[in-house]
Structure 1
Amino acid sequence: MIGEMEELKYEDNPDPGRWRHRKKEGAGRSVLALVMVLALFGVLGGGAWFAYDRYGGAFFAADYDGPGTGEVIVKVEKDQFAPAIGKTLESAGVVKSAQAFVNAAKDNPDSQNIQVGSYKLKKEMKASDALLMLLDRKNLAVEGVTIPEGWTKMQVFAALSKESGIPVKEFEAAAKDISKLGVPAAWLVRKDGKTVDKANIEGFLYPATYEIPEKATAADILKMMIKNFNAEMTKLNFAAGAAKLNISPYEALVAASIAQVEALLPEDMGPVARVLYNRAYSGDFPCNCLQLDSTVNYWLRLNGKEGKSSEKLTIDEMHSEDNPYRYNAPGMTIGPISNPGEYALKGAITAPKSPYFFFVTVDKKGRTAYGKTYAEHQANIKVACKNGIPICNN
């Protein structure tokens, strides 16, 4: 957890909250010493420059010239002063010398505002640049719980519980009304006549890394995640994209959640979403239903069961009227089946037009093939079989 702000203090500073400059007499002696050193360099020639580069800390604080390269995580601990931070940076290869960082901190009055935490920095940086990066909160490396794309709400609740110590049941209780957690009213309606379940938070738990605040409740954490979801939807202009498809944002979210599970590659998210739209809305597909194992398996998981491969699903599991996610349920599924990430969400609102009603993964690289007719689909399945895809092991 990122702690409260800590003042930088210096070993030779009587007032740790503020750096006091040296007296003029000391400054004069420093200039005289510099002149003597430069005169010595003139006598020794090029070898002195080598000595300076190697032992420069004896006269000046060795420092890098460049902006740095690569990335390294450096942690600023509580009660660390400038020299200690400098040593940490030097050990990590960020600055050339701890003293260069101390000098940069003395020259920058904002240095006392560095926060405790882990920072993403670069290697071989000029000390003053490293200081500026430490002062920029954008470089704080978040330490928290990471929610991967495609996780269900059950998986998210379990991860949040492990990180926070809050029981899963409290997250379930807090999620009973998503409108109270910050989900906008525009997301609680559909254009296809179906009702949005306000007790279903699935799809709104945007995949990202979240830092859990101290003393946060389950509701606090879920509100934080939905706030992030809303921000990401604004960036994507998601509602406007859904409107162009003549569907509600919620229906597009459902499609994205399915595409996230069904498509293995980013480039297939959009085309798979289009297949879903063609099946559910075009009127040209028998039953106008999705006929997907993934929705059936989601229902099994909701009921505490394990998902199954296609050949192991029973007729009752696939077609039971008690299952709202059943194989032949008409139209778009009643709710999301996962929490989709950026690629799936973008794919759902930019799904390219196509005549396809079928799709199948055809190789071990995860590529998807599409078909307009069942015969074309069967031909694609044969290709998948030749490539060793498990769909053919029945």
Structure 2
Amino acid sequence: MLDDLDAVLEEEEQAQPAASRHRNRSRGGRSAIAFFMSLVLLGLLVGGGWFAYSKVKGFFVADDYAGPGGAEAIVQIKTGQSATDIGTTLVRQKVVASVDAFTDAAKDNNRSKNIQAGWYRLKVEMKASDALAALLDPKSRWVNKVTIPEGLSYQQTFQKLSQATKIPVADFAKAAKNPVALGVDEAWFRRGDGKPADKTDIEGFLYPATYELSPRADATEVLKTIIGNFNAEMEKLEFVPTVEKGRGGISPYQALIVASIAQAEALKDEDMPKVSRVIYNRAYGEFPCHCLGLDSTVNYWLRISGKKVKPSEKLTQSDLHNPNNPYNTHDKPGLPPGPIGNPGQAALKGAMSPTNNFPYYYFISIDTKGTMAYGKTGADHDRNRLRACQNGIPLC
């Protein structure tokens, strides 16, 4: 049956004119070409669309590196920088691919406002969110951290700073020769007792605190940072106006000297105002010689002269009464030429606001805990000294 149908179809095709058969073949060829051209056009449309997308996607999706990053990049974040500022810094150093990628990451992280100023160890070509996480990680910060305890001399402070920063002590000594250039107000170097103040003496201005110093800072920049902190702390304490208003002609520099002595003599914060009052009483009160009679000032001179500091019981008469020692307070009246160390907050408060109605001229530590006893007369002082000896203080 099927064979008969095939034969019929073949006869019909042979019966058609040749031109008609040719038109049929041509129409089939054109259909194939049209189909091929449709495929080409579709490919162009798809390819063009992808090309256009690739060109405009940057307007909608911020460029970002895949991470995790490669070579180390040392980046400085400055105080007050916004997320955009930080992103710009990171882009310049090729840490992130775009500012938008970083700011987008910052918007998605509530802790992004906690980025601290300082130097950071990051990597080139980091994913923006990873860079942000690193900036929030304390371990990424690159700082020289150093703690300056209360009462250190400038020489001891330079040693501490040198150990932390690897900057030679000599560099700090050289930079310290001009405290005014480092930020100390020249007005500090005034005294109301007729004695001169040495404008090259940095002692007293190296405020005790813990500092995070830039690893790129030199000696001058380090000292400027510390003195800047001194200025800020003095302003918070209102040290200058308080002293000028309430100390009857005593200058802030004189009060700074008193604070440094109180820091050296008293172990407990509660004694700082009392010791300060005794110093003022002896120097400017009705004490006969107006001399302080302190071993701490003598030892200060030994220290800065390159000599060995001695316990009070081992100081000789020649040590105590050396006429060439400007810090000899056993024979020379009034306050010494300058501070004998760098006082902390408690000592500064004691010097600016000494205990009122405290008519004593002597003080002494009477036990190993630093308990202080005060006396009005030499006889009182002798009795307190005996108490100290009985408590194991080596004075007798």
TM-score band, normalised by shorter chain = 0.5 to 0.7
State whether residues 368 and 392 of structure 2, in contact with CA within 8 Å, keep that contact through their aligned partners in structure 1.
yes
Residue 251 of structure 2 corresponds to: 248
User: CA, structure 1 residues 18+198, in 2 after alignment: closer, same or farther (shift >3 Å)?
Assistant: closer
- For the pair shown, the structure with the greater C-alpha radius of gyration is 2
Root-mean-square deviation over aligned CA pairs: 3.1
Change (3 A) 1:82 1:372: farther
**Correspondence list, 1:234-245, <5 A:** 234-243=235-244, 244-245=246-247
Query: What is the alpha-carbon distance in structure 2 between the residues aligned to residue 340 and residue 141 of structure 1?
Result: 29
In structure 2, relative to structure 1, the CA distance for the partners of 1:176 and 1:117 (3 Å cut) is: farther
Out of 51, 60, 78, which is 2:122 matched to? Answer: 78
Give the distance between the partners of 1:146 and 1:233, measured in 2 at CA.
Answer: 19
Cα distance in 2, alignment partners of residues 160 and 144 from structure 1: 9
Distance between the aligned counterparts of 2:295 and 2:137, measured in 1? 45
CA contact (8 A) 1:142 1:210 kept: no
**Which amino acid counterpart does residue 391 of structure 1 have in structure 2?**
L
Q: Is the 8 A contact 1:281 1:331 kept in 2?
A: yes
The correspondence of residues 292-303 of structure 1 with structure 2, limited to 5 A, is: 292-303=294-305
Aligned length: 289
Alignment gaps of 5+ in structure 1 = 9-14, 21-75, 85-110, 120-133, 135-139
Q: Is the 1:118–1:142 contact (alpha carbons within 8 Å) kept by the matching residues of 2?
A: no
Rounded to whole Å, the distance in 1 between the matches of 2:177 and 2:103 is 52
Matched, 1:227 2:228: yes
1:304-342 CA distances to partner (integer Å, 9 max, x unpaired)?
Answer: 111112222122221122100012221011110010000
Structure 2 counterpart of 1:209: 210
Please report the TM-score for the alignment, with normalisation by the length of structure 2: 0.66
Distance in structure 2 (CA, Å) of the matches to 1:239 and 1:81: 51
Residues 117, 141 of structure 1: 8 Å contact kept: no
Within a 5 Å distance, the mapping from 1:7-18 to structure 2 comes to 17=102
1: distance between equivalents of 2:380 and 2:127? 69
Match of 1:270 in 2: 273
Q: Which runs of 5+ in 2 are unaligned?
A: 1-73, 78-85, 91-99, 106-119
> 1:297: how far off?
0.3
Change (3 A) 1:213 1:330: same
Cα distance 1:372–1:162, how it changes in 2: closer, same or farther (>3 A)?
A: same
| Aligned mate of 1:115, from 135, 139, 161 | 135
The residue that corresponds to 1:366 in the other structure is 370
381, 393, 396: which one aligns with 1:389:
393
How far is the alpha carbon of 1:141 from its aligned partner? 11
Q: Deviations along 1:66-96, whole A, 9 cap, x unmatched? A: xxxxxxxxxx973587998xxxxxxxxxxxx
Following superposition of structure 1 onto structure 2, how do residues 1-394 of structure 1 map, counting pairs within 5 Å? 3-4=75-76, 17=102, 78-79=122-123, 112=132, 115=135, 117-118=137-138, 144-243=145-244, 244-246=246-248, 247-282=250-285, 284-326=286-328, 327-353=330-356, 354-392=358-396
Seen in structure 2, the aligned counterparts of structure 1 residues 215 and 360 have a Cα distance that, compared at 3 Å, is: same
User: Closer, same or farther in 2 for the Cα pair 1:191/1:112, shift >3 Å?
Assistant: same
Cα distance in 1, alignment partners of residues 103 and 167 from structure 2? 42
Q: Which amino acid aligns with 1:281?
A: Y
Task: Return the alpha-carbon distance in structure 2 between the equivalents of residues 4 and 233 of structure 1.
Answer: 29
**1:19–1:384 distance in 2 versus 1, CA, 3 Å:** same
